[in-house]
Each structure stands twice: as structure tokens, then as C-alpha cells.
């Protein structure tokens, strides 16, 4: 990510976080605040509506006082003069005052006058009976306190306001002449008037029949318990406030419902929306400004510095420098880069000098080494020539010596010995002579073997050996070697020679004589270092493409320390010295065997422990 992209991304992320924060603040603080405000307003409106309905009863009570504290009414209640009714209670009085019932009782509770006017504006007997029944039931006709009683009463046809008071003289003195009861039905018009007065959508329901109260017992419970209005959000657009009015006996009677439009919350939402929009505009402008400022003051300069550093070639000897305008942190960074470049240039120079010196030294040493190598090669060639020449020179006289010794021994046995008197000391001397003939014969044979093996080794090492590779039948090869060794085994009757060759071995493409030489060497070592037991030769396949030869003996074994040395040139181990008073080996056999096996990309190794016999293995790859 480039610096510019990173800056842009961070600014965008910050802007989004700020907007998300603003959204959450609006959602949970601003809008909720408006909702609470709306709730409080609806609660207040529901309370106002209830107070208004309660005031209706109070108005009726106040109106009742004018009539109940009046000498005329007192007289009528106690004496029953009929002109009182005619002059004061015609139908017009009811209609003017919106009264639906006027009842006057004497002190005994007997009805002096009763009038009931229905909503149509006519006297109505049925209503008369209903109202009278209610008055009797509520005990409003007699024995009221001085203040009287007022309140709502639930009639079968609907709610009504009742006000009752003892009838006194005009100066409010007693004794009471009876009781005056006035009734106003709570009609739709009354509720409508209240609605208009309060500028609210108010409706009044009887608690017992209001479906809302029936379906929401919890609502009624709350209203009854606290007398405080309850607010309910109905949907996105409407909110309802509920309050309760009790009847004259104190029982819940009327459920007042105020329905209001949720304009406050809507307004809150709009405020939140504009707020977010405004913030988005401000943040966008601020982010853009910030980015431009960063781009100009930081990003562009850092990018320029980066390009300059990239172009700097520290491999040349010319001193490179970067340049940045200004006096701030970026300019300081450029100065530091310049200091670093200077140091790198100095180090580079020192390094080059050291390298040049080193190269000279290496060239010098290489020349020395080449010289030494040439000398060594010369020496090696001389050694090869010398060994080759010496071996060839030794061969002829050695053959002659061997022939002469045999001839001399035969001559001594046939011609000299019969002439001698083989008594006493003469017998001893003759035996000594015969022993010496044997020793000379053996030593010459050993010398001959040594020269032959030395010559072979020399040829292999110099790469001048002629390898006559051919298809060789392995079983035949091993059998030949075993036959060649049978003489040696006959000298040691307590050592068996055993052979196990796996069936169906593939032929090997090798020089028969060389491999024969390897087998002879291992077998002759085996018989040489074994006193009793056996020497066992086995051949088997190792996987699909290698053949494993093993020569195992039950002889004296080889010390662990010696195992890695026995394949070295002219190494003759402890066995040779301890085992034979005069060495019979050459110390070349295993070295030569190793060279031959390795010529065919094989490997040879030995496993042994003193007293436990030895196992010599060699592996030859089966070609094609
Ligand atoms: P040499 O002709 O003297 O036997 P080799 O190279 O064949 O020379 O063997 C080197 C040495 O390895 C021997 O002198 C002997 O100490 C040890 N060695 C080889 N084969 C055996 C064996 N089968 N058992 C014990 N020692 C062995």
C-alpha cells in the first residue's frame, strides 16, 4: 500500500467512525430525548383532559350551590308550593343549563319534585326512573354532609354527572329543608367541547366496556394504582395518553384517551437526519482538506525522498546525495540518509580496497599452490615410474631366485644329502638347511606378491590399468576362487570353507581376474587369521541393482580402532604381528581390493570384534 493510499484509507476510516458515532448519538440521545419529550407532553395532555372532565362535575356542583342555598328552594322542599316548579323549572331551564335531571327531596327523603330531560330535549319518564333509581341506590336523597356529594355515576345508558347538596336558606344557614340533586349526562357533545377547549383528540370510554381496558388489564392496573396518566406508542404516527376518572363511589369509571400525532418524534428524527447530513458534509470537507495538506506537506515529499533513495547507486564510487526542502522531520530524515550514504560510501571504498588486496593475495597463493601441485604431480609421476620400474626390475631376478632356490633344494636333497652321514650334529645342520630353503622360498614368493600388487596398485592409481570387462557368471567366479584357495585350506584341516550362492544371480560386467583377485585376497585373509571353525563366502542380491559378497570367518577378529585403517596402503594390523612370527602378508591386499571395488562404483567394508570373527562385505552394482 502506498503512503497516499494509506493516508486516504485512514482518513476514510476515521470519517466513517465519526459518522457511525454521530448516528449512534442521534439514535440513542437526540431521538430518545425527543421521544421522552413527546411522552411527557402526552402525559400532561392526558392529565389535562382528566382535569377538564373533573372540572365539569365541579361546575355542576357550583351551579347546584346557587339553587340549593336559596329560600325559595328551601320553602318548596319543606312545604311543596307548586308555583316554584312552574316558575323555575320549565323545560327552558334544563335546556339552557344543559341539565338532564333535577330532583328535590324533603328531609325525609320523599320526592317533592323530579324532572328528567333526555338528549332530544323532552321530558322523559324512563330517564326519570333511571336517575331516581340511581339516586336512591347511591343514597343521595338524604343525610348528606353540608358540602354534599358530586361525581360521575355509571348509568345503563352511559355516564352522568351527579351533584347533590342539602337545601339551605339563601344565607347558607340551616336547618336543611331537603336535598337537591342535579344530573348532567356525559354526552358526546360534552366530550367534543372538552376536545375543542383543549385542542386535543379526546375520547371517553366506560372502564367496564372499553375494549382497551379489557384487553390491557395491566394498563388499568397501572392507572388505578398511581392515578398518573399512562402513555403508549401506537405506531409510527400515533401516540396515546390514558388517564382515569373515578365515579362518585371512588371506583374506576371512565377511561380518558388522548390521541396525538407523533410530530415531536418526527421532528426529532428530522433534526437527527439533518445533523448527520451536516456532519457528513463537514467531515468530507475536513477529510479532503486534511488529505490535501498531508499530500502536500508529507506524502509528496516522502515519495520524492523515496524515489531519490531508490535512484541512489551505492555501488559506484561517486558520492550520492538526496535533497529535501524545509526544516522539519522529513528534511532531518533526508540529512540522516545523506550521512548514512556517506558512511556506506566510505565503507564501500574500504571494502573494495580490502577485496583488491585479498584478490592479490589469493592470486599469489594460487600461483604458489599451482607450483606446489606441479611439483607434487612431478613427484607422483616419478614415484609411479620408480615403482613401475623397480617392480619390473625385481620381477625377473625374483623369478630367477625362486627357480634357483627350488633347484638348489632339489639338488641338495637328491645329491648332497645321500652323501652325508646323518648322525648327531650333521642331522641338525641338514634340517636347518632345509628350513632355510623353505623360508627363502616363502619370502621370495611374498616379495613377488608384493611387487605384483604394488604394480597393480600403481597402475590403478595412475589410471593405466587395463580393465578387460566381460560378462562374468558369479557362481563360476566364486567357485574358481574357492578351488584356488583349497590348497591353503588343506593346510588347515580344522577350518572349513563353505560357500552359499543365491539362485538366479544376474551376470556381472567386470574384469574377471580383478574380481577373482578381490575374492582370493578376502579368502586368504580369512584362512590366515582363523585357527578353527570356518570361512564362509555368500553372494546375494541387495535390492534390485546391487550384488552383495560376504566373506565371514570365525577367526580372531579385528580391533575396533583398526577397522578404519585396514584398507590403507601397506597397513598390517596387530593380527599380522601377533599371529605370525614372521609376516606373510603384504599390507596391500585390502587396499588393492578397495581400488578394484570402487572402480566399479561399489563399496567395501568390514565388521568385526576381537574374538568374534570378521565379516568383509563388498557390493558391486549390477549394470543395465
Ligand atoms: P595382508 O596382506 O598383510 O593381509 P591386507 O591389506 O590384506 O594385508 O590386510 C591388512 C590387515 O588387515 C592385516 O594385516 C590384518 O591385520 C587385517 N585383516 C585383514 N583380514 C583379516 C581377517 N579376516 N581377520 C583378522 N584380521 C584381518
C-alpha cell at 81: 308550593
Distances (CA, A) of 476 to 508, 516, 539: 11, 10, 12
* CA-proximal residue: ligand 1, atom 17 (nearest): 573
Distances (CA, A) of 401 to 406, 410, 417, 450, 473: 9, 14, 22, 15, 38
Cα–Cα distance for residue pair 299/237, rounded to 1 Å: 52
Question: Is the pLDDT reported for residue 624 higher than 70?
Answer: no
State in Å: Cα 587 to ligand 1 middle.
7
Name the average pLDDT for the chain: 90
State in Å: Cα 622 to ligand 1 middle.
27
Per-residue pLDDT tens for 20-29? 999 899 888 9
HSE toward the beta carbon, residue 391, CA cutoff 13 A: 18
State in Å: Cα 554 to ligand 1 middle.
14
Report, as an integer, the average pLDDT of 470-475.
95
Q: What is the DSSP letter of 419?
A: G
Give the dihedral sign, CA 279/281/282/287.
positive
Ligand 1 nearest atom to the CA of residue 588, by list position: 6
Q: What share of the chain is helix, strand, coil (3-state, %, to 5)?
A: 60, 20, 25
CA-nearest of 60, 69, 137 to 100 is 60
Question: Is the pLDDT reported for residue 384 higher than 60?
Answer: yes
Ligand 1 nearest atom to the CA of residue 529, by list position: 24
Distances (CA, A) of 196 to 167, 204, 308, 401, 565: 35, 14, 83, 158, 127
What pLDDT was estimated at residue 99?
94
Instruction: Specify whether the backbone of 66 is left (phi greater than 0), alpha (psi in -120 to 50) or beta.
Output: alpha
* CA-proximal residue: ligand 1, atom 20 (nearest): 525
Long-range contacts of 186-192, Cβ-Cβ distance < 8 Å, separation of 24 or more: 186/53, 186/56, 186/152, 186/158, 186/159, 186/160, 186/161, 186/254, 187/119, 187/158, 190/56, 190/98
Report, as an integer, the average pLDDT of 512-538.
94
Per-residue pLDDT tens for 55-113? 999 999 999 999 999 999 999 998 888 889 999 999 999 999 999 999 999 998 999 99
What pLDDT was estimated at residue 527?
93
State in Å: Cα 209 to ligand 1 middle.
127
Ligand 1 nearest atom to the CA of residue 586, by list position: 2
What pLDDT was estimated at residue 45?
94
What pLDDT was estimated at residue 131?
95
Of 111 and 569, which is predicted with more confidence?
A: 111
Nearest-10 crossing angle of helices 31-68, 263-294: 160
* CA-proximal residue: ligand 1, atom 21 (nearest): 525
What pLDDT was estimated at residue 353?
94
Of 589 and 623, which is predicted with more confidence?
A: 589
Cα–Cα distance for residue pair 597/514, rounded to 1 Å: 9
Cα–Cα distance for residue pair 557/582, rounded to 1 Å: 19
Pocket probe mutation, ligand 1, options 449, 517, 563, 585, max atoms within 8 Å of Cβ: 585
Name the pLDDT band for 217 (thresholds 50, 70, 90).
confident
Question: Is the pLDDT reported for residue 603 higher than 60?
Answer: yes
* CA-proximal residue: ligand 1, atom 12 (nearest): 566
Q: What is the DSSP letter of 319?
A: P
State in Å: Cα 449 to ligand 1 middle.
15
Give the dihedral sign, CA 300/306/312/313.
negative
What pLDDT was estimated at residue 143?
73
Q: Which residues contact 605 (CB under 8 A, 6 or more apart)?
A: 616, 617, 618
Beta bridge partners of 259: 201, 240
Q: Is the CB of 524 under 6 A from ligand 1?
A: no
Contact call for residues 588 and 450 (beta carbons, < 8 A) = yes
Q: Is the CB of 241 under 6 A from ligand 1?
A: no
* CA-proximal residue: ligand 1, atom 19 (nearest): 525
Q: Strand 149-155 and strand 158-167: pairing? A: antiparallel
Q: Is the CB of 525 under 6 A from ligand 1?
A: yes
Report, as an integer, the average pLDDT of 288-308.
90
Question: Is the pLDDT reported for residue 386 higher than 90?
Answer: no
Report, as an integer, the average pLDDT of 454-459.
87
Report, as an integer, the average pLDDT of 575-598.
77
Cα–Cα distance for residue pair 573/300, rounded to 1 Å: 82
Name the pLDDT band for 317 (thresholds 50, 70, 90).
low
Contact call for residues 182 and 60 (beta carbons, < 8 A) = yes
What pLDDT was estimated at residue 580?
55
Q: Is the CB of 554 under 6 A from ligand 1?
A: no
Name the pLDDT band for 213 (thresholds 50, 70, 90).
low
Question: Is the pLDDT reported for residue 447 higher than 90?
Answer: no
Report the SS3 class of residue 56.
helix
Contact call for residues 552 and 614 (beta carbons, < 8 A) = yes
Name the pLDDT band for 223 (thresholds 50, 70, 90).
confident
State in Å: Cα 472 to ligand 1 middle.
27
Beta bridge partners of 178: 106, 167
Ligand 1 nearest atom to the CA of residue 583, by list position: 3
Contact call for residues 176 and 152 (beta carbons, < 8 A) = no
What pLDDT was estimated at residue 394?
85
State in Å: Cα 521 to ligand 1 middle.
9
CA-nearest of 506, 562, 536, 508 to 616 is 536
Instruction: Give the highest mean pLDDT range of 207-211, 305-309, 466-470, 610-614.
Output: 466-470
Question: Is the pLDDT reported for residue 325 higher than 90?
Answer: no
Question: Is the pLDDT reported for residue 578 higher than 80?
Answer: no
Q: Is the CB of 584 under 6 A from ligand 1?
A: no
Start-to-end Cα distance in the chain: 59
Report, as an integer, the average pLDDT of 294-311.
88
Cα–Cα distance for residue pair 588/607, rounded to 1 Å: 19
What pLDDT was estimated at residue 396?
86
Pocket probe mutation, ligand 1, options 520, 576, 593, 611, max atoms within 8 Å of Cβ: 576
Ligand 1 nearest atom to the CA of residue 521, by list position: 7
Per-residue pLDDT tens for 235-248? 889 999 999 999 99
Per-residue pLDDT tens for 116-140? 999 999 999 999 999 999 999 999 9
Report, as an integer, the average pLDDT of 349-376.
95
What pLDDT was estimated at residue 289?
94
Global pTM reads 0.50
| 311 sits in which H/E element | helix 300-311
For the chain, give the percent of residues with pLDDT over 90.
58
Q: Is the CB of 148 under 6 A from ligand 1?
A: no
Tell me how many helices (H) and strands (E) the chain has: 17, 16
Q: Is the CB of 558 under 6 A from ligand 1?
A: yes
Q: Torsion angle, CA of 472/475/478/481, rounded to 10 degrees? A: -80
DSSP string, 451-512: HHHHHHHHHHHTT-----EEEE-HHHHHHHHHHHHHHHHHH-TTEEEEEEE-TTPPPEEEEH
Q: Is the CB of 613 under 6 A from ligand 1?
A: no
Cα–Cα distance for residue pair 255/214, rounded to 1 Å: 11
Report the SS3 class of residue 353.
helix
Report the SS3 class of residue 572.
coil
State in Å: Cα 543 to ligand 1 middle.
29
What pLDDT was estimated at residue 169?
93
Beta bridge partners of 615: 552, 607
Report, as an integer, the average pLDDT of 164-179.
91
Q: Is the CB of 590 under 6 A from ligand 1?
A: yes
State in Å: Cα 470 to ligand 1 middle.
29
State in Å: Cα 153 to ligand 1 middle.
138
Amino acid at each position: 500500500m502506498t503512503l497516499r493510499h494509506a493516508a486516504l484509507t485512514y482518513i476514510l476510516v476515521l470519517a466513517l467512525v465519526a459518522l457511525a458515532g454521530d448516528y449512534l448519538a442521534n439514535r440513542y440521545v437526540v431521538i430518545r430525548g425527543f421521544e421522552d419529550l413527546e411522552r411527557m407532553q402526552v402525559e400532561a395532555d392526558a392529565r389535562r383532559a382528566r382535569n377538564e372532565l373533573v372540572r365539569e362535575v365541579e361546575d355542576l356542583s357550583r351551579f347546584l350551590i346557587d339553587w340549593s342555598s336559596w329560600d325559595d328552594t328551601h320553602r318548596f322542599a319543606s312545604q311543596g308550593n307548586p308555583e316554584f316548579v312552574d316558575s323555575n323549572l320549565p323545560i327552558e331551564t334544563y335546556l339552557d343549563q344543559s341539565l338532564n335531571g333535577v330532583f328535590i327531596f324533603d328531609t325525609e327523603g320523599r320526592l317533592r319534585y323530579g324532572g328528567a330531560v333526555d338528549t332530544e330535549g323532552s321530558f322523559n319518564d324512563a330517564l326519570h326512573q333511571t336517575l331516581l333509581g340511581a339516586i336512591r341506590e347511591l343514597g343521595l336523597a338524604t343525610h348528606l354532609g353540608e358540602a354534599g356529594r358530586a361525581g360521575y355515576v355509571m348509568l345503563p345508558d352511559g355516564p352522568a354527572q351527579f351533584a347533590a347538596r342539602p337545601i339551605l336558606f339563601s344565607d347558607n344557614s340551616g336547618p336543611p329543608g331537603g336535598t337537591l340533586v342535579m344530573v348532567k349526562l356525559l354526552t358526546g357533545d360534552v366530550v367534543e367541547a372538552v376536545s375543542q377547549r383543549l385542542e386535543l383528540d379526546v375520547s371517553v370510554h366506560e372502564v367496564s366496556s372499553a375494549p382497551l381496558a379489557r384487553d390491557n388489564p395491566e394498563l388499568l392496573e397501572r392507572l388505578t394504582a398511581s392515578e398518573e396518566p399512562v402513555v403508549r406508542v401506537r405506531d409510527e404516527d400515533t401516540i396515546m395518553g390514558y388517564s382515569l376518572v373515578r365515579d362518585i363511589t371512588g371506583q374506576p369509571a371512565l377511561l380518558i384517551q388522548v390521541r396525538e400525532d407523533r410530530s415531536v418524534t418526527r421532528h426529532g428524527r428530522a433534526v437527527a437526519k439533518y445533523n448527520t447530513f451536516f456532519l457528513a458534509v463537514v467531515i468530507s470537507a475536513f477529510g479532503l482538506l486534511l488529505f490535501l495538506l498531508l499530500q502536500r506537506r508529507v506524502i509528496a515529499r516522502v515519495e520524492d525522498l523515496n524515489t531519490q533513495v531508490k535512484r541512489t547507486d551505492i555501488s559506484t564510487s561517486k558520492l550520492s546525495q538526496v535533497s529535501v526542502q524545509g526544516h522539519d522531520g522529513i528534511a532531518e530524515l533526508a540529512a540522516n540518509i545523506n550521512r548514512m550514504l556517506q558512511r556506506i560510501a566510505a565503507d564501500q571504498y574500504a571494502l573494495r580496497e580490502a577485496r583488491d588486496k585479498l584478490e592479490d593475495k589469493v592470486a599469489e597463493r594460487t600461483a604458489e599452490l599451482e607450483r606446489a601441485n606441479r611439483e607434487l604431480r612431478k613427484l607422483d609421476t616419478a614415484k609411479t615410474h620408480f615403482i613401475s620400474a623397480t617392480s619390473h626390475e625385481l620381477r625377473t631376478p625374483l623369478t630367477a631366485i625362486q627357480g634357483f632356490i627350488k633347484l638348489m633344494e632339489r639338488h641338495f636333497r637328491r645329491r648332497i644329502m645321500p652323501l652325508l652321514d646323518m648322525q648327531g650334529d650333521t642331522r641338525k645342520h641338514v634340517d636347518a638347511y632345509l628350513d632355510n630353503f623353505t623360508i627363502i622360498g616363502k619370502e621370495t614368493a611374498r616379495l613377488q606378491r608384493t611387487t605384483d600388487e604394488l604394480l597393480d596398485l600403481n597402475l590403478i592409481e595412475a589410471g593405466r590399468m587395463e580393465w578387460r570387462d566381460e560378462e562374468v557368471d558369479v557362481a563360476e567366479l566364486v567357485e574358481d576362487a574357492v578351488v584356488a584357495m583349497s590348497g591353503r585350506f588343506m593346510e588347515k584341516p580344522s577350518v572349513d570353507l563353505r560357500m552359499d550362492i543365491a539362485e538366479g544371480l544376474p551376470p556381472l560386467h567386470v574384469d574377471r581376474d580383478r574380481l577373482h583377485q578381490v575374492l582370493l585376497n578376502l579368502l586368504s585373509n580369512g584362512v590366515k587369521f582363523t585357527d578353527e571353525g570356518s570361512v564362509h563366502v555368500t553372494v546375494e542380491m541387495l535390492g534390485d541393482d546391487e550384488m552383495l559378497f560376504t566373506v565371514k570367518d570365525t577367526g580372531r577378529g579385528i580391533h575396533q580402532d583398526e577397522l578404519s585403517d585396514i584398507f590403507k596402503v601397506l597397513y598390517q594390523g596387530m593380527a599380522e604381528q601377533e599371529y605370525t612370527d614372521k609376516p606373510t602378508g603384504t599390507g596391500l591386499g585390502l587396499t588393492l581390493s578397495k581400488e578394484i571395488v570402487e572402480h566399479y562404483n561399489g563399496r567395501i567394508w568390514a565388521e568385526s570384534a576381537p574374538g568374534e570373527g570378521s565379516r568383509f562385505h563388498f557390493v558391486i552394482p549390477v549394470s543395465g
